[in-house]
Structure 1
Amino acid sequence: MGIALVAGGTSGVGLATARRLQVRGYDVHLTGRGKERLDDVAASDPQLTGHRADGGDAAAMAALAESLGTVDVLVVCLTGGGGMGPIAELDLATLRRAFDAKFWTHLVTVKAVLPHLAVNGSITLLSGMTARAAVPGTAGIGAVNAAVESLVRPLAVELAPRRVNAVSPGFVDTPWWGRFPPEVREERFARTAATAPVRRVATADDIAEVVALAATNANLSGTVLEADGGAHLVSMD
């Protein structure tokens, strides 16, 4: 099938996506910043090849892409944790770091890998429902995710016949929530399960299934796939 590169693939949606692409027959390479997580993946998923690289480091990502030869599938699952909170209280330096951690790492990774992306290859980005949801306290993080999504349509035309898509998850049970106190996570998940039309919180593999579709379907480009369990249809505040 070719080579797939999953930037930010050592846990959560990224790792679940790497596993799905490997099952589909791809030679899957993934990146992570921390040696410990890469070692964990090497132990749990020896069929995946891990590389220590920061998505915000253009030279490192370009060198990795060059070493792989031709990349057929690029998935960018790099995430950040900043940018949440009421706008009156939101620290702008924190929001700038949130853009650095997600939007700029997405853009840097795409630019670094692009010279090595197959002419019929694909790019799949990971945004989030806050890009479009009217949830109080998410203006900052929503702006970050909206910036990621703003890349999709122009790049789908500019880079054609390469395909460019994004997947927009809602609440997903991943290690990302470890940054919050357990009671915050439990309360948010309970509210989501009671309010979202699907009446459940997504797993990483739920989202990975959609990411793999976007990455491999030859007729899908310029699209943001909603994978939020219908949360964008109802009030989630």
Structure 2
Amino acid sequence: MTDHTALVVGGTSGIGLATARRLHRAGAAVHIVGRDKQRLENVAATDPALTGHAADGSDPRQIAAVTEAIGRIDWLIITLSGSEGPGPIADLDLGMLRRAFDAKFWGHITTIQAALPHLAPTGSITLLGAVTARAAMPGTAGIAAINAAVEALVKPLAAELAPIRVNGVSPGLVDTPWWSGLPDQARQAYFTQAAQALPTRRIATADDVAEAVVLAATNPNITGTILETDGGARLVSMT
């Protein structure tokens, strides 16, 4: 992977950071984008080889400035996410849901458009959805719609942008900062219960998913595909 450049948007924590680390270990020059300056400073301290950029993935001017500064990009990886979106449909806050769409779905579109002029003809785009896009989990209609919208981009873009490859990765339950809104004890209790329902009997780590992201981004024979890395959550009832 030497002489390749990767851009991980949403790369300051969780799956994005784990992906950036894997790509760096494989020899790529890796740039990460994040909104939170403190997180960028933390990554600079722990992973000085990763080049950090402060930008909002949903702001076209900010992302365009980052991509122009980098130049040629071989692998664009978008791991934008947010904690908003879940909740029963009867009282789902529609303003909150619109913000969640802006942060994730529109952030993906904005980032793709900004990066396209700089993507190598043999390059790739990898998007991050989630198992909620295809699972029947009560209380997830809003966030399921967001992830389904992201994953719906994969096939048409793979056809439209060829030979640039476009893929998605669809994780299930992953132990990342996404769950930081829950107290530690409540989170661990939920993970313990959920793990018993999963065919794999475990909750994924960010690095588990990052391995699939790197495969989708770098394998020259994969395009138009969504790699499911959900521990089998789509096969069972998680309610």
> TM-score category by the smaller chain?
over 0.9
> Which SS does the other structure have where 2:91 is aligned?
coil
Q: 1:71 aligns with which of 73, 80, 100?
A: 73
The aligned residue for residue 205 of structure 1 is: 207
CA distances 1:9-58 after superposition (whole Å, capped 9, x unpaired): 00100000000011111100001111111111011001111011110111
Amino acid at match of 1:102: K
Q: Partners in 2 of 1:139 and 1:185 — Cα distance?
A: 22
Q: How far apart are 1:106 and its partner, in Å? A: 0.9
Amino acid at match of 2:71: G
Q: How far apart are 1:82 and its partner, in Å? A: 1.1
Q: Partners in 1 of 2:148 and 2:222 — Cα distance?
A: 20
Q: Partners in 1 of 2:199 and 2:14 — Cα distance?
A: 23
Q: Partners in 2 of 1:183 and 1:94 — Cα distance?
A: 27
The aligned residue for residue 17 of structure 1 is: 19
Q: 1:113 aligns with which of 106, 115, 132?
A: 115
The aligned residue for residue 229 of structure 1 is: 231
Amino acid at match of 2:207: D
2:31 paired with 1:38: no
Q: Percent identity?
A: 63
> Which SS does the other structure have where 2:105 is aligned?
helix
The aligned residue for residue 47 of structure 1 is: 49
Matches within 5 A, 1:75-94: 75-94=77-96
Q: How far apart are 1:215 and its partner, in Å? A: 0.4
Q: Partners in 1 of 2:26 and 2:195 — Cα distance?
A: 31
The 10-residue stretch of structure 1 (174-183 or 130-139) with the greater mean CA deviation from structure 2? 174-183
> Which SS does the other structure have where 2:89 is aligned?
coil
The aligned residue for residue 60 of structure 1 is: 62
Q: 1:145 aligns with which of 144, 147, 167?
A: 147
RMSD: 0.9
Q: Partners in 2 of 1:140 and 1:182 — Cα distance?
A: 25
> Which SS does the other structure have where 1:98 is aligned?
helix
The aligned residue for residue 163 of structure 1 is: 165
Amino acid at match of 2:13: S
Q: Partners in 2 of 1:106 and 1:191 — Cα distance?
A: 33
Residue ranges of structure 2 left out of the alignment (5+ in a row): none
> Which SS does the other structure have where 1:123 is aligned?
strand
TM-score, structure 2 normalization: 0.97
Q: Partners in 2 of 1:129 and 1:11 — Cα distance?
A: 20
Q: Partners in 1 of 2:186 and 2:171 — Cα distance?
A: 19
> Which SS does the other structure have where 1:88 is aligned?
helix
Q: How far apart are 1:97 and its partner, in Å? A: 0.8
Residue ranges of structure 1 left out of the alignment (5+ in a row): none
TM-score, structure 1 normalization: 0.98
Q: How far apart are 1:89 and its partner, in Å? A: 1.2
Q: Partners in 2 of 1:107 and 1:170 — Cα distance?
A: 23
Equivalent pairs counted in the alignment come to 237
